[in-house]
Amino acid sequence: MQKIGLLITLGLAGCLTGGLDSEDPGTSTVEEAVTTANRLASNRLASNRLASNRLASNSLSAAALTSSSLIETADGREVFSYIVKCALPSTKSVTVTDSHGTSYAFAGEIGLAPAWQTTTPTVSERRWVTACVLARTNYYGVTVQLSMRGSHPALATNSAETAAFPAAEGAFYGDLFNPIGQTWFACGSKKWTTAALADAQRSCTVSPDGVTTMCGFTYTYLCGSAYDVTHSSACAQKIPWTNCKGAGVTYPETITIFLSN
């Protein structure tokens, strides 16, 4: 199954601590292309992280979702919009209503967990959507074109995409929707320096302290090669990386990000 990639036409979201732009978080302009863009600011994801695990016991369109703080704030709605974009295909959408009676429509894009629209998600579906949301998070809160690759059919690629985006940045995985214990992991590629990733405005696989990345994700060091004598490679060696490990758990639901240079 060949993927029809997505190019999202979006403006800058401002600096990391800035507010949302004027774009309705439930809508986006989508054109046919070979890439998908990202701009979810990491502070917005972090501040709404705890609210995300409430989604595990509901469908995305469930009426019970109105009690979630994700729908009550602009930042929360932006996070929810990325969850829907990752979970549902472009032919699907959900409409939810906040506690004030205001309804918001959120469109799908990628289709990693299409059944989540009407049923509770499986563990695997939760993990795929987590990997997608993390991969599309940006420390700088700006749009960067990238290629998302993994073993899910919705992430199948083609020769044009692999040629245009040859540089593996790192991998993302975890389970933001686990009501028992949320996880979010990122590992990096040894081919990218901190300065080069900053130039590319992608720093979520960079860790200044060796513990957490600049986006706040748990750092699992290098994806495909040993970091040092005490840290083995986080993932299986083949790129796109898969079966990445975090906190003693192996995640087949891993998304590798490739950049254009």
Which DSSP letter does residue 69 get?
T
Q: What is the pLDDT of residue 14?
A: 24
Average pLDDT taken over every residue of the chain: 82
Summarised one tens digit per residue, pLDDT across range 166-190 is 999 999 999 999 989 999 999 999 8
Instruction: Give the span between the Cα atoms of 28 and 10, in whole angstroms.
Output: 8
260: left (phi over 0), alpha (psi -120 to 50) or beta: alpha
Q: What is the pLDDT of residue 198?
A: 81
Instruction: Give percent above pLDDT 90 in the chain.
Output: 56
Instruction: Give the span between the Cα atoms of 17 and 41, in whole angstroms.
Output: 8
Beta strands in the chain, from DSSP E residues, in sequence order: 5-9, 29-33, 36-38, 40-41, 93-97, 103-107, 137-138, 144-149, 167-175, 183-188, 218-222, 244-246, 249-251, 255-259
The token pair that represents 2 in the structure block: 């060949």
Q: In total, how many domains does the chain have? A: 1
Q: pTM of this prediction?
A: 0.85
Domain containing 49 equals 5-259
Residue-by-residue DSSP string for 176-226? TT-SS--EEEEEE-TT--HHHHHHTT--TT--SSSSB-TTSPEEEEESSS-
Summarised one tens digit per residue, pLDDT across range 6-53 is 332 222 222 222 222 223 444 332 222 235 667 898 999 999 988 888
Digitized pLDDT (tens) for each residue of the chain, 261 residues in all = 333 333 322 222 222 222 222 234 443 322 222 356 678 989 999 999 888 888 998 899 886 676 677 888 899 999 999 999 999 999 999 998 888 888 899 999 999 999 999 999 999 999 999 999 999 999 888 888 999 999 999 999 999 999 999 999 999 999 999 989 999 999 999 887 778 888 878 989 989 999 999 999 999 999 998 777 788 899 987 889 999 999 999 999 999 999 987
The token pair that represents 3 in the structure block: 């993927």
Q: What is the pLDDT of residue 50?
A: 85
